[in-house]
């Protein structure tokens, strides 16, 4: 997993010592700028605040779900990245793709950006690859669950077939064969809500676009085992108070599609490079050229 989904496998901006990631300042960031909350005495950006910090300042809000010192977790990253995300996490979104930042900056915000400098030796500590992190955490939970299975040889046999699959077709075949031994899936079990559609197990294996063939195969193996254990192995959904893992899988897809990274905690002044939008545009064109090459 570490080698296959290493950050250097993606089209990123870097030099010998640092990685450079992009953030389109959202409406809350821009309000902080306009009020001078995140500016130093010389008018420079001194920090980017977390949603949780802003959330706590509103006396009308309930206590935040996550405290300032809460450890990073699958649930917290999920709560931040999912479509209807929570406003009380310690996560700040970045992207390794300047084009993604521009999409949000011009389409939804005020076309203002910063670049966040992350020393290579520090990557994986306060800054993580969101999609990779969630996949790793799911894989750990799946492997732990499998290690406790003792009396279902057929289930373990199917898991072995998934692990040894060489193509997505083989993975789909293993899942499909297992499902034929159970009653058909009931859409009502998904408890669909507004703007959230039910996804069949097979639909979970979609190609995220930014992943290569080897990465996609590994991702699909993890998702296949999760699906199998959830549907016929008795495994509970990994996120509390959810009906199944559909939205979790969709959130991973969103994270990879946006090449999203999570900065955990406040972004400090020495990490911030305040740049004009034209510079971000140049990086975006450069990354488009690199992709074509």
E strand or H helix at 274: strand 272-275
Length of the chain: 293
- The 8-class DSSP code of residue 276 comes to -
Tokens found for residue 269: 């002044």
Residue 1: per-residue pLDDT: 83
pLDDT digits (tens, 9 = 90+) for 169-213: 999 888 876 655 444 444 444 444 444 444 455 568 877 788 999
Structure token digits, residue 159: 């898991």
Q: How far apart are CA 89 and CA 64, in angstroms?
A: 8
Please tell me the predicted confidence (pLDDT) of residue 201.
Answer: 55
pLDDT for residue 185 = 44
What is the distance between the alpha carbons of residues 107 and 75, in angstroms, rounded to a whole number? 28
Judged against a pLDDT cut of 70, whether residue 249 lies above it is answered with: yes
Element of type H or E holding 93: strand 91-95
Tell me, what's the pLDDT at 2?
A: 84
> Would you state the pLDDT for residue 179?
59
- pLDDT at residue 207 in the model: 76
Report d(CA 289, CA 186) in Å as an integer.
Answer: 46
Instruction: Tell me what pLDDT residue 175 has.
Output: 83
Largest separation between any pair of C-alpha atoms in the chain: 68
Q: What is the DSSP string of 149-195?
A: --S-HHHHHHHHHHHT--SHHHHHHHHHHHHTTSPPP-GGGG---TT
Task: Decide: pTM greater than 0.85.
Answer: yes
Residue 250 has a pLDDT of: 95
Sign of CA dihedral 227, 232, 236, 237: positive
- Among the ranges given (118-122, 131-135, 202-206), the one the predictor scored with the smallest mean pLDDT: 202-206
Can you tell me whether residue 44 is helix, strand or coil? Answer: coil
∠ CA 277-281-282, nearest 5°, is 120
Instruction: Name the pLDDT band for 288 (thresholds 50, 70, 90).
Output: very high
- Residue pair 86/79 in contact (Cβ under 8 Å)? The answer is yes
Q: What is the pLDDT of residues 29-79, one digit of tens each?
A: 999 999 999 999 999 999 999 999 999 999 999 999 999 999 999 999 999
pLDDT on residue 54: 96
How high is the mean pLDDT of the chain? 90
């Amino acid at each position: 997993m570490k080698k296959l989904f290493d950050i250097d496998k993606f089209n990123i901006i870097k030099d010998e010592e640092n990685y450079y990631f992009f953030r389109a300042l959202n409406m809350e960031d821009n309000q902080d700028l306009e009020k001078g909350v995140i500016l130093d005495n010389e008018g420079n950006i001194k920090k980017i605040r977390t949603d949780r910090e802003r959330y706590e300042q509103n006396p009308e809000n309930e206590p935040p779900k996550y405290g300032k010192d809460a450890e990073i977790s699958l649930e917290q990253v999920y709560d931040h990245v999912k479509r209807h995300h929570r406003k009380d996490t310690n996560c700040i979104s970045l992207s390794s793709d300047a084009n993604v930042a521009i999409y949000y900056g011009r389409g939804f915000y005020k076309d203002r950006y910063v670049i966040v400098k992350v020393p290579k030796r520090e990557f994986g500590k306060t800054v993580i690859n969101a999609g990779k992190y969630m996949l790793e955490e799911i894989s750990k939970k799946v492997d732990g669950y499998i290690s406790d299975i003792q009396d279902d040889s057929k289930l373990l046999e199917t898991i072995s077939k998934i692990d040894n699959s060489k193509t997505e077709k083989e993975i789909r075949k293993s899942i499909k064969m297992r499902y034929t031994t159970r009653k058909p899936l009931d859409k009502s079990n998904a408890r669909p809500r507004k703007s959230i559609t039910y996804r069949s197990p097979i639909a979970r294996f979609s190609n995220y676009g930014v992943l290569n063939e080897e990465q996609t195969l590994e991702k699909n193996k993890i998702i296949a085992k999760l699906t199998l254990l959830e549907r016929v192995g008795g495994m509970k959904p990994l996120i509390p108070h959810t009906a199944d893992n559909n939205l979790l899988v969709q959130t991973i897809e969103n994270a990879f599609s946006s090449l999203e990274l999570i900065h955990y905690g406040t972004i400090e002044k020495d990490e911030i490079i305040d740049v004009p939008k034209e510079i971000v545009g140049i990086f975006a064109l450069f990354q488009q050229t690199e992709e074509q090459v």
